[in-house]
């Protein structure tokens, strides 16, 4: 929508959004080519970045998987890939800004990685972590506590996607009481995943338990689900609540 369209838009509160620029940044994605299950090439990465820029997002913290035997990533594999993206952005003359962190899988090797440190953080001491989708980690609290005593602040990626937490909202309250922030996947709100994930996503938003949102973008198939967000009342309400802290992630 052009400038005049924005000026004369008759948007009412909780009706729709013009774009996603109000978020400030996307803090969960898989843009670094060929190191996990996300982008396969630099060209694909640039296409994905452009699609989000078209929705108003121009700042990104990309978060490759660090996961056991599957994706044995580290700063040595992540940061050179980041540099290639930054060079391509500069070459194309785009105003986008991108940093890299990681999405750490809390598996049997996590504590070893933590001891080896330092971890790649989203901002300052904030670390993005994820659980298994299938099995509850037996030592979930131990690993979260280990993060905290090492000076890190955990952000749990897509808490709406762990079915074993669906039994009671008290599961989520316990994590919040443990000072874990929640990062909701934008696609969950618009039905990219299961009905269960969408239901929990809406409930977490209703209770104002969501601190961050991210695309978790892996490829262009995800894009229509982000575009659909502009007209979802629950998401508009979340954005207008002022509770989201994505914009803080690019502050010094």
- CATH number, domain containing residue 186: 3.20.20.140
pLDDT of residue 2: 42
Does residue 56 form part of some domain?
Answer: yes
Residues 203 and 206: their CA atoms lie apart, in Å, by 5
pLDDT per residue, tens digit, the chain (252 aa), is: 443 344 334 445 557 899 999 999 999 999 999 999 999 999 999 999 999 999 999 999 999 999 987 899 999 999 999 999 999 999 999 999 999 999 999 988 899 999 998 999 999 999 999 999 999 988 999 999 999 999 999 999 999 999 999 999 999 999 999 999 999 999 999 999 999 999 999 999 999 999 999 999 999 999 999 999 999 999 999 999 999 999 999 986
> Is residue 234 a part of any domain in this protein?
yes
Q: How many domains does the chain have?
A: 1
Could you tell me if residue 126 is inside a domain? Answer: yes
Instruction: Let me know if residue 67 belongs to a domain.
Output: yes
Region for 242 from its dihedrals, namely left if φ exceeds 0, alpha if ψ lies in -120 to 50, beta otherwise: left
Quote the CA–CA distance of 120 and 127 in Å, as a whole number: 7
**Inside any domain, residue 6:** no
pLDDT at position 252: 65
Degrees (nearest 5) of the Cα angle 71, 78, 94? 130
Query: Which domain, by its residues, includes 208?
Result: 19-250
Helix 75-92 to helix 42-54 angle, to the nearest 10 degrees? 60
Residues 6+ apart with CB under 8 A from 68: 105, 107, 108, 109
In-domain check, residue 175: yes
């Amino acid at each position: 929508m052009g400038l005049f369209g924005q000026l004369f838009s008759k948007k009412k509160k909780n009706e729709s959004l013009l774009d996603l620029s109000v978020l400030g940044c996307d803090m969960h994605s898989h843009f670094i080519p060929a190191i996990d299950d996300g982008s396969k090439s630099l060209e694909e990465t640039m296409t994905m970045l452009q699609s989000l820029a078209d929705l108003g997002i121009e700042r990104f913290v990309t978060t490759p998987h660090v996961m056991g035997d599957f994706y044995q990533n580290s700063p040595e594999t992540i940061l050179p890939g980041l540099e290639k993206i930054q060079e391509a952005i500069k070459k194309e003359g785009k105003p986008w800004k991108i940093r890299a962190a990681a999405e750490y899988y809390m598996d049997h090797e996590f504590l070893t990685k933590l001891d080896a440190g330092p971890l790649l953080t989203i901002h300052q001491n904030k670390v993005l972590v994820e659980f298994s989708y299938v099995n509850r980690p037996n030592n979930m609290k131990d690993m979260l506590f280990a993060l905290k005593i090492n000076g890190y602040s955990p952000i749990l990626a897509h808490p709406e996607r762990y079915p074993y937490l669906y039994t009671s909202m008290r599961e989520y309250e316990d994590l919040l009481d443990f000072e874990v922030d929640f990062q909701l996947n934008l696609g969950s709100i618009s039905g990219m995943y299961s009905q269960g994930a969408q239901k929990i996503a809406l409930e977490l938003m209703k209770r104002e338990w969501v601190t961050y949102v991210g695309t978790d973008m892996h490829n262009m198939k995800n894009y229509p689900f982000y575009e659909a967000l502009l007209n979802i009342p629950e998401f508009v309400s979340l954005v207008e609540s002022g509770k989201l802290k994505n914009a803080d992630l690019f502050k010094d």
